[in-house]
Structure 1
Amino acid sequence: MRATPEVSGVRTEIAVANSYRRKTTYSVQISIADGEGWTAYNRFWLQDVPPGETGRAAALIGSDAMGPIPRNPKIYVDEFTPIVDRK
C-alpha cells in the first residue's frame, strides 16, 4: 500500500496477492489519517483476481475541502475480506 499527498487529496494505491487456488475477490476498506483530525475512507473491490496473480487498485481519497492535505499520511486497513470463488 502507498499513500502519496497531492494537491487535491491523497493518491492511494493497494495491491493484494492471491494465494488461493481459485479466483478471489477482495473487499478492502482503508482509512487515511494524519493523526491530527484529518481522516478519509475508501473501500476497494479487487474482483476475480486469478490464483497466483496480484490485484491492484488506486484512487484519490479525501479533498482539500477537509483541510490541509496531510504531508505524511498513514494508511490503516479497517477491513480485509477475501471472497473465494467456489467453482
Structure 2
Amino acid sequence: MRATPERSGVRTEIAVVNTNERKTTYSVQISIADGAGWTAYDRFWLQDVPPGKTGRDEAVIGSADMGPAPRTPKIYVDEFTPLVDRS
C-alpha cells in the first residue's frame, strides 16, 4: 500500500497477491489518518483476481473540505476479506 498527499486528499494505492488456487475477490477497507484528527475511509473491491496474480486499485481518499491532507499519512487496514470463487 502507498499513500501520497495531494491537494484534494490522499492518493492511496493498494495491491493484493492472490495466493489461493481459485479466482478471488478481495474486500479491503482502509483508513488514512494523520494522528491529529484527520481521518478518511474507503473500501476497495479487487474483483476476480486470478491465482498467482496481483489485483490493484487506487483512489483519492478524503477531500479539500476536510482541510489539508496529512504530510505523512498513516494507512490502517480496518477489514480484509477474501471471497474465494467456489466454481
TM-score, length-scaled by structure 1: 0.99
1:86 maps to which residue? 86
Root-mean-square deviation (CA, aligned residues, Å) is 0.4
Task: For structure 2, list consecutive stretches of 5 or more residues without a partner in the other structure.
Answer: none
One-letter amino acid of the structure 2 residue matched with residue 23 of structure 1:
K
2:32 maps to which residue? 32
Distance 1:29 1:75 in 2: 11
What are the residue-to-residue correspondences of 1:1-80 with 2, within 5 Å?
1-80=1-80
How much identity, in percent, do the aligned residues show? Answer: 80
Q: CA offset at residue 74 of structure 1?
A: 0.4
Distance 1:63 1:48 in 2: 30
One-letter amino acid of the structure 1 residue matched with residue 22 of structure 2:
R
One-letter amino acid of the structure 2 residue matched with residue 15 of structure 1:
A
Distance 2:42 2:69 in 1: 16
Q: For the Cα contact (< 8 Å) 2:49–2:55, is it kept in 1?
A: yes
**Dislocated runs of 4+, deviation >2 Å:** none
One-letter amino acid of the structure 2 residue matched with residue 81 of structure 1:
T
Task: For structure 1, list consecutive stretches of 5 or more residues without a partner in the other structure.
Answer: none
Aligned residues: 87
